[in-house]
Amino acid sequence: MISFRNDHTFEMHSTGVFFYSNWKLGAWDKNGDTLKLKWHGQPAPALGSTLLIDSGYLKPLDKTVNERFRHIRMFCLGYCKGDN
């Protein structure tokens, strides 16, 4: 889950097996349909620092993001749509 706040900060929470829980924080800026993320620390490897808002989903644009992640719809805008 990623929460983008009006004060241009964001937080991302990831969970996984064996009680894995990770929080990442940063700041964001929007230009048209593109989000630029400034992570506090290392960026999330599946997202990078540039995201495209496309058909209600966030799509990573960074060349450093693994090719398999660039084609997966990982985050939808708004409340969970049950697509995952």
Summarised one tens digit per residue, pLDDT across range 30-56 is 999 999 999 998 887 778 889 888 888
Q: What is the mean pLDDT of the chain?
A: 79
pLDDT for 42 equals 83
Total count of residues recorded for the chain: 84
Q: Which residues touch 3 (CB under 8 Å, ≥6 apart)?
A: 10, 11, 12
Single pTM value for the model? 0.73
Asked if 36 and 8 touch (Cβ cutoff 8 Å), the reply is: no
Closest CA to 40 of 61, 15, 76, 10: 10
